[in-house]
Amino acid sequence: MRRSLLALVAALSALPLALATAPSAHAADPTTMTSGFYVDPDSSAKRWVAANPGDGRTSAINASIANTPTARWFGSWSGTIGTATGAYVGAADARDKLPLLVAYNIYNRDYCGGHSAGGASSPSAYANWIAQFAGGIAGRPAVVVLEPDSLGDYGCMTQAQIDERESMLTGALAEFNRQAPNTWVYMDAGNPAWASAATMAQRLHEAGVRQAHGFSLNISNYLTTAENTAYGNAVNRELAARYGYTKPFVVDTSRNGNGSNGQWCNPSGRRIGTPTQQGGGAEMLLWIKVPGESDGNCGVGSGSTAGQFLPEVAYKMIYGY
């Protein structure tokens, strides 16, 4: 018996590491623990609809945007973060629905772009914040998109800053794996127009995506689902060839109904895309960005701040003009 055990250990140790290691730390599937996706009752679109019942745009915005399951973003504005995430997933759990959350508070956030600059005051402050974020979710089912743009935003960063960022993301995944066993975490991987599939696969791997459930694409962007699906598959081919594993991915379809015109900051003529659902070429198609929320002081959102709800932009996005 001892000889058999030794032989088994030797055989396992001879396997490539990627094949001997489970590709995901989570066995639970939060989609099977719930009866559909949660509609945020306090989204910017919901608040605008409630405050403007007599506006001629209200009916369309209510029907096409406000009642579609969309992610809630959490950052420094969220107050005590564990309380905030706990209350949100708790409300969803009480309704047997699956909540979508975005963690958006990494140190040096949007370091190169600047429109959404901010985040935690230091790497250690971020580690504390994200630990509380995960602790608030605890054992309840949830989907989390981890730090949009963080792996695409390397253009003006030093190698030391890149290493620091990747370490923060790896630490975040460890907290979710430890504290939130029924949460699927998707590490953000930018979009097809940002970095090559080979480059993104390397960044994902170095930031610890092996310990995530998957990766996310097209957050707050406009590229078509087909473009993102092709890119996600290409990233997976690179992950498989280099590191021996692949990951599921999700696509933000909230504003990609007309595709992209090459601009990312409040471009005109965009349209809402396929509502939140499972499948569709990716593991899930999700509304991560609320249609009508500004990308910043730019484009058709001139004079606005990032995240501000612009009803005219939302209304035009429903019809694609």
Contact assessment for residue 78 and residue 102, using Cβ atoms and an 8 Å cutoff: no
Q: Give the single-character DSSP code of 252.
A: E
Q: How many CB atoms lie within 10 A of CB 279?
A: 8
Which positions ≥6 away from 10 have C-beta within 8 Å? none
> Do the annotations mark residue 48 as ligand-binding?
no
Q: Catalytic one among 110, 149, 153, 252?
A: 149
Does 67 carry a binding-site annotation? no
Annotated binding residue 77:
no
Active site residue 295: yes
DSSP strand pairing (72-74 vs 183-188): unpaired
DSSP for 154-198, please give it. Answer: -TT--HHHHHHHHHHHHHHHHHHHHH-TTEEEEEE---TTTS-HH
* Of the candidates 99, 189, 187, the residue with the CA atom closest to the CA atom of residue 138: 99
Is 129 labelled as part of a ligand binding site? no
Task: Determine the Cα–Cα distance for residues 64 and 44; give it in Å rounded to an integer.
Answer: 14
Annotated binding site for substrate: 73, 194, 221, 264, 289, 293
| Catalytic residue list | 149, 295
Annotated binding site: 73, 194, 221, 264, 289, 293
